[in-house]
Amino acid sequence: MRFMSFHPPYAVLERDAALFLDIDGTLLDFSPSPESVIVPPGLPECLARLQQRLGGALALVSGRSLADIDRLFGPGFAAAAEHGALLRGADGALLARHQPDPALAEIAPSLRQAVAARPGTLLEEKDFGLALHWRAAPEHGEALTALGEKLAVPHSGLVLLPAKQALEIRSRGPDKGEALAAFMARPPFRGRRPVFIGDDVTDEPAIERARELGGAGLHVAHDFRGEPEAVRQWLASHLKEGAL
């Protein structure tokens, strides 16, 4: 079938789809901090049922660490963690692991000091990146962005990833588009039509790659009224009898 933009009537998943889902801002509503997000009741079960109906071809593609993804949804899903720096296959095997740049350890103390002096901000420290968050204190966004840029730019192995009221400094390496392509080269994704759903600039490479591969790259703001709840309802609609 031809996937259409999500202006009613909605496009639907078919059994030959491979489904790729961002987490924050796509499956889950934003919260003041990454740790305080709420996973709606029944969502992990919904994803597990979709995974089964798609022959295992469902993956979570997120900036979060793999441990964080598993904390939220359980370890039973293929996953691209930290924007594709670490890939886990549908069978649970580790497919790829990018090497973190040593410069992250050099700049971390300055970032810790910066958030300690700014109430309401925080530093999320991951294996392959450092993420500054100021959702609870947006007045500090400009200063933290400037600091992040100042610290990261001198290091060629680091890249800046702006997000919604956040800035991540990560090791240069694969992006979400490359992660999607890596999955599509392997079973159970190989030979299927990719459908990716994301919400911000870090998702754009995967949106484009899904389209290039003949599938659908969908954006929460454009295709789901900007509401993760609309994404969740759409996913659940495919579990109705005869839908998928």
- Domain shared by 178 and 150, yes or no: no
pLDDT at 11: 64
- Domain shared by 80 and 108, yes or no: no
Please give the Cα distance from 12 to 172 (Å, whole number).
35
Q: Does residue 4 or residue 234 have the better pLDDT?
A: 234
- Domain shared by 115 and 226, yes or no: no
pLDDT at 242: 65
Would residue 35 count as lying in a domain? yes
Residues 115-138 as b/e (b if ≥16 CB within 10 A, e otherwise) read beebeebbbbebbbbbbbbbbebe
pLDDT at 53: 95
- CATH number, domain at 71? 3.40.50.1000
- Domain shared by 92 and 184, yes or no: yes
pLDDT band at 3 (very low <50, low <70, confident <90, very high): very low
Mean pLDDT on 169-190: 96
pLDDT tens for each residue of 78-107: 999 999 999 999 999 999 788 889 999 999
Mean pLDDT on 113-117: 98
pTM here is 0.88
Q: Which residue in 16, 22, 70, 175 is the catalytic one? A: 22
1 pLDDT exceeds 50?
Answer: no
C-alpha of 198 from chain center: 7
- CATH number, domain at 114? 3.30.70.1020
Confirm whether 22 is a catalytic residue: yes
pLDDT band at 56 (very low <50, low <70, confident <90, very high): very high
- Domain shared by 27 and 93, yes or no: yes
Choose one of 171, 194, 213: the last residue of a domain: 171
Choose one of 154, 171, 188: the last residue of a domain: 171
- Domain shared by 155 and 192, yes or no: no
Residue 163 domain boundaries:
103-171
